């Protein structure tokens, strides 16, 4: 069974969580570090569990692990041994599973985040796809981490914020190496039709549509106004469920690492009704969204 089939049958939509790093910062943690939120896997794993709990209490049906920017090489550069680094990669999904299992009001899903190569570079390349590796190089870079995360106990993988057609193809090849693994693929996008490297999203969706282990295709960490047209482009190329979790609508400057603009949870939830009507079934938030966004999403989208 697809992990979310029962949830969809019961309530018509799957509510995802919001920005993990956003909520960690709201709770007072400084994340101006190359490891970003993954630093707390080493320094304060309890803080990550508290954020998972906050999103579950807000109404999330699926929480994403704190592994987006976690890599063995990054932990080693921060002074850890290689076995210790591997242990932290396994810890990320384990923390989400522990908090999910401790939450009794309803059964939620855990999606293990597989962030892009650009996130590990910490230079904004996840929003451009301007990479120095080809498909074979990206397979090699992701492989050990991908296998560790796939074996971490989550319900599925979230291959997310993918800016590059080449990286999507590399991750799909790795998915074939783990026959029992299943995943959604979501892209960062530059406009209403194209992912960040300029490839039409319909082209990416058509490639992924033929892969049984890919359960859903979509968009994340992208401005909300682009979503409805992007959903239409995906639907034109694939019949798979569509997953969307955009940023708050604020704009990010990679050079200054600052956001500007408005982050109104009420408007975000209103827009989510349009995304659902366009065909999205799994809906949440990414950067600059928090538990209040999730509460309002659930109130707007979930059938009573």
3 within domain boundaries: no
Q: Look at residue 303 in the predicted model and tell me its pLDDT.
A: 65
Asked if residue 235 lies in contact with residue 242, where contact means CB atoms within 8 angstroms, the answer is yes
Q: How far apart are CA 242 and CA 266, in angstroms?
A: 22
Q: Look at residue 250 in the predicted model and tell me its pLDDT.
A: 72
Containing H/E element for 294? helix 291-301
pLDDT < 70 regions, the chain? 252-257, 259-264, 303-304
Q: Look at residue 34 in the predicted model and tell me its pLDDT.
A: 74
Q: How far apart are CA 38 and CA 214, in angstroms?
A: 26
222 within domain boundaries: yes
4 within domain boundaries: no
Q: Look at residue 262 in the predicted model and tell me its pLDDT.
A: 64
2 within domain boundaries: no
102 within domain boundaries: yes
pTM for the predicted model, two decimal places = 0.94
Q: Look at residue 207 in the predicted model and tell me its pLDDT.
A: 98
Q: Look at residue 257 in the predicted model and tell me its pLDDT.
A: 66
Q: Look at residue 29 in the predicted model and tell me its pLDDT.
A: 82
1 within domain boundaries: no
Containing H/E element for 237? helix 227-237
5 within domain boundaries: no
Q: How far apart are CA 129 and CA 163, in angstroms?
A: 5
Q: Tell me the CATH number at 15.
A: 3.20.20.330
Asked if residue 117 lies in contact with residue 133, where contact means CB atoms within 8 angstroms, the answer is yes
Convert 188-208 to b/e letters by CB count within 10 Å (16 or more is b). bbbebbbbbbebebbebbebb
Q: How far apart are CA 252 and CA 262, in angstroms?
A: 12
Supply the range of the domain harboring residue 265: 10-301
For the chain, what is the domain count?
1
49 within domain boundaries: yes
């Amino acid at each position: 069974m697809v992990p979310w089939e029962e949830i969809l049958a019961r309530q018509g939509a799957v509510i995802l969580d919001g920005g993990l790093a956003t909520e960690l910062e709201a709770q007072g943690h400084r994340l101006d570090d190359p490891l970003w939120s993954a630093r707390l896997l080493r320094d304060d794993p309890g803080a990550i569990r508290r954020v998972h709990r906050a999103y579950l209490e807000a109404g999330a049906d699926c929480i994403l692990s704190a592994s987006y920017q976690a890599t063995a090489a990054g932990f080693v550069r921060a002074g850890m041994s290689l076995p210790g680094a591997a242990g932290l990669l396994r810890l990320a999904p384990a923390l989400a599973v522990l908090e999910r299992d401790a939450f009794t009001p309803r059964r939620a899903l855990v999606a293990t985040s597989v962030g892009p190569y650009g996130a590990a570079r910490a230079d904004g390349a996840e929003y451009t796809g301007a990479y120095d590796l080809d498909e074979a190089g990206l397979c090699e870079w992701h492989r050990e981490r991908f296998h560790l995360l796939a074996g971490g106990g989550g319900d599925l993988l979230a291959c997310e914020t993918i800016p590059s057609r080449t990286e999507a193809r590399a991750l799909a090849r790795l998915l074939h190496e783990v026959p029992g693994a299943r995943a959604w693929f979501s892209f960062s996008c530059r406009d209403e039709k194209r992912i960040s490297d300029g490839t039409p999203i319909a082209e990416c969706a058509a490639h992924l549509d033929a892969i049984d282990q890919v359960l859903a295709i979509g968009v994340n960490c992208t401005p909300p106004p682009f979503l409805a047209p992007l959903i239409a482009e995906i639907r034109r190329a694939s019949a798979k469920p569509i997953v969307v979790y955009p940023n708050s609508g604020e704009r990010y400057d990679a050079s200054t690492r600052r956001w500007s603009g408005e982050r109104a949870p009420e408007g975000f939830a209103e827009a989510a009704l349009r995304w659902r009507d366009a065909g999205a079934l799994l809906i949440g938030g990414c950067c600059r969204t928090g538990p209040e966004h999730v509460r309002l999403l659930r109130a707007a989208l979930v059938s009573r």
